[in-house]
């Protein structure tokens, strides 16, 4: 009856993008306050999400330009005639498979030389990438940079009026629950990606304490230690329930998305004092196209889940340290958040925080040791599994193309901006409260994925839950670190007891 499953999403259909964008604008756009920060945030978020979707979907699509008698065609025919000694000029379609075009009466050698020369000329003259990919990458990079600038000024936005959505809580729940069901059904219908299958193999090897060989390709990233631990736990449950590894991999992804959703709800209830804000954030998280594009990628969702729950448990430095350590074991750049959080907690809280992070690091290193054969294998797994690829920042091939050169320049610039931001946020004195910690952490992750060696700007799900918290949060300057809260309560109690004694003396 249907060409595809009913609950599958057609991400490649631009009409679907338009419908989702209009739905998001209808629910969240403040028409009564057109020039507001909320509307700016929403437009930037839609630009990042839509451009990311276009970039991912059109990245591997071939783009062929067919023309006859054009300037490029004349150049190809004329140059081939000069090189090949007056070969008869034919009408050659301008396409990327020009090596399959043979002219009448040509020998195999001449035809091969002709095709190779045509390909060389075309490859040097025409951008082979799809226009949607090129324009999507440009919009993604530009909108991400604008989003970074907006986050850098988040501390100065002291006025945070309560802006309700255009849909009440019942309507948001009616929209949120089916959206979550459709996304998770999409995860169940899709085959797990190759990285997820490798994760399950690493998890089974960890349980059996077997050595796992890394791929020779240095660009391939093996599963992170936290993913390996989750896969090992999932394998145990799968063996007890007699479940195939592919379904266990799907279950891990669904669990990660569920943790993100629950984390947003818990933060909104405990710290924002509004469950409606939590439902609004969850609904927007599920509706954005970027969530659907990488919905089946555990490596994109798991760091966000750990960071979200770290903010939910910020009052407990030990628990927050464990969660941030798990995020660092999944995402390399989360390590740079550790100094920021240590400064936030102060002297006493930072000790407990760092001890818990160190304990998690020891456990994760032990998991890599169990699947390593010797010290060199352990070191290689430690470097590649945590995606420690900063050393490739300046290492490019000898024959650098223009696109690669521009990416290298952008990465160097964003790396410099990132470390300047990190130094300023940790060294310069600033108020220690949850709203500053949330804004600074989000801006650091946005800046980090802009100089990431693989797919600049594509890792939106790393910071999407935190960005939603920044967009929807009220004033959080009252939420201070636990040590400062205890000191404040002690001073207030001493002042109240002193005033009580003075009043008793006056009465006597």
Of the two residues 289 and 220, the one the predictor is more confident about is 289
Tally of CB atoms within 10 A around 446: 28
Distance CA 76, CA 87 (A): 12
Q: What pLDDT does residue 357 have? A: 93
Tell me the mean pLDDT in the region 338-356. Answer: 91
Per 3-state DSSP, what percentage of the chain is helix, strand, and coil (rounded to 5)?
A: 70, 0, 30
**From CA 342, how far away is CA 437, in angstroms rounded?**
11
Long-range contact set of residues 244-249: C-beta below 8 Å, sequence gap at least 24: 245/197, 245/200, 245/204, 246/191, 246/192, 246/197, 246/200, 248/200, 249/192, 249/196, 249/197, 249/199, 249/200, 249/298
> What is the tens place of the pLDDT at every residue in 63-90?
655 544 444 444 444 444 444 444 444 4
Instruction: Please tell me the predicted confidence (pLDDT) of residue 40.
Output: 93
Residue found by looking up tokens 């600033």 in the block = 430
Q: Find the range with the poorest average confidence among 29-43, 121-135, 188-202, 288-302.
A: 121-135
Per-residue confidence (pLDDT) for residue 377, from 0 to 100: 67
CA atoms of 132 and 138, how far apart (whole Å) = 10
Among 4-13, 71-80, 308-317, the range scoring the smallest mean pLDDT is 71-80
Predicted pLDDT at 496: 56
Going by C-alpha positions, the residue among 385, 375, 376 that lies closest to residue 329 is 385
**What confidence tier does 266 reach under pLDDT thresholds 50, 70, 90?**
very high
User: 264 with 281: CB under 8 angstroms?
Assistant: yes
Nearby residues of 79 by Cβ (< 8 Å), 6 or more positions away = 117, 121
At residue 476, does pLDDT exceed 50? yes
* The predicted structure's pLDDT at residue 42: 94
Mean pLDDT computed over 179-191: 88
CA distance 86 to 209: 67
Report d(CA 310, CA 322) in Å as an integer. 8
**Model pLDDT for residues 455-467, shown as the tens digit of each residue:** 777 889 989 999 9
Confidence class of residue 499 from pLDDT cuts 50, 70 and 90?
low
pLDDT at site 214: 57
Return the pLDDT at 397.
40
Q: From CA 30, how far away is CA 15, in angstroms rounded? A: 24
Looking at every residue in the chain, the average pLDDT score rounds to: 77
pTM (2 d.p.): 0.80
Q: Write a three-state SS string for 78-129.
A: HHHHHHHCCCCCCCCCCCCCHHHCCCCCCCHHHHHHHHHHHHHHHHHHCCCC
For position 494, what pLDDT does the model report?
59
Q: List, in order, residues 6 or more apart from 84 with CB less than 8 Å away.
A: 110, 113, 114, 117
Q: Is the pLDDT of residue 480 over 70?
A: yes
Q: What is the pLDDT of residue 87?
A: 42
The predicted-structure confidence for 276-302, as pLDDT tens digits, reads as follows 999 999 999 999 988 988 888 888 899
Average pLDDT over residues 379-389: 61
Measured between alpha carbons, how far is 52 from 31 in angstroms, rounded to an integer? 26
CA proximity to 20, closest of 52, 46, 38: 46
């Amino acid at each position: 009856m249907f060409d595809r499953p009913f609950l599958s999403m057609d991400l490649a259909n631009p009409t679907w993008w338009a419908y989702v964008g209009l739905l998001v604008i209808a629910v969240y756009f403040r028409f009564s306050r057109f020039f507001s920060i909320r509307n700016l945030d929403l437009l930037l978020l839609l630009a990042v999400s839509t451009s990311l979707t276009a970039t991912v979907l059109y990245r591997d699509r071939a783009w062929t330009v067919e023309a006859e008698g054009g300037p490029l065609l004349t150049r190809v025919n004329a140059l081939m005639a000069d090189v090949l000694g007056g070969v008869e000029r034919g009408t050659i379609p301008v396409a990327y498979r020009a090596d399959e075009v043979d002219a009448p009466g040509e020998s195999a050698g001449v035809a091969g030389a002709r095709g190779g020369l045509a390909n060389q000329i075309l490859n040097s003259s025409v951008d082979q990438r799809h226009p949607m990919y090129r324009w999507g990458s440009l919009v993604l990079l530009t909108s991400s940079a604008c989003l970074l600038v907006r986050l850098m000024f988040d501390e100065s936005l002291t006025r945070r009026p309560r802006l309700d959505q255009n849909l009440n809580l019942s309507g948001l729940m009616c929209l949120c629950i089916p959206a979550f069901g459709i996304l998770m059904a999409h995860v169940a219908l899709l085959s797990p990606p190759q990285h997820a299958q490798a994760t399950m193999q690493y998890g089974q090897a960890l349980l059996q304490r077997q050595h796992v060989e890394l791929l020779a390709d240095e660009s391939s990233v093996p599963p992170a230690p936290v993913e390996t631990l989750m896969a090992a736990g999932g394998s145990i449950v799968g063996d007890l329930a007699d479940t195939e590894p592919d379904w266990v991999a799907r279950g891990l992804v669904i669990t990660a998305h569920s943790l993100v959703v629950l984390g947003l709800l818990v933060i909104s209830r405990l710290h924002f004092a509004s469950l409606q804000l939590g439902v609004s954030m969850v609904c927007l998280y599920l509706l954005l196209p970027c969530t659907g594009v990488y919905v089946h990628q555990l490596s994109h969702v798991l760091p966000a889940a750990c960071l979200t729950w770290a903010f939910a448990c910020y009052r407990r430095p030990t628990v927050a340290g464990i969660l941030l350590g798990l995020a660092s074991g999944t995402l390399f750049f989360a390590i740079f958040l550790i100094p920021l959080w240590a400064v936030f907690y102060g002297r006493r809280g930072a000790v407990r925080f760092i001890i818990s992070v160190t304990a998690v690091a020891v456990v994760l290193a032990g998991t890599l040791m169990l699947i390593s054969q010797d010290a060199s294998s352990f070191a290689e797994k430690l470097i590649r599994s945590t995606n420690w690829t900063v050393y490739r920042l300046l290492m490019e091939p000898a024959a650098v193309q223009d696109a690669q050169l521009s990416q290298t320049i952008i990465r160097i610039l964003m790396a410099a901006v990132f470390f300047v931001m990190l130094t300023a946020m940790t060294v310069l004195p600033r108020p220690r409260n949850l709203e500053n910690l949330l804004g600074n952490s989000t801006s650091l992750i946005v800046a980090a994925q802009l100089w990431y060696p693989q797919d600049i700007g594509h890792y939106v799900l790393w910071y999407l839950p935190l960005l939603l918290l920044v967009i929807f949060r009220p004033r959080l300057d009252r939420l201070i670190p636990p040590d400062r809260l205890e000191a404040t309560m002690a001073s207030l109690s001493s002042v109240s007891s002193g005033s009580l004694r003075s009043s008793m003396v006056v009465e006597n």
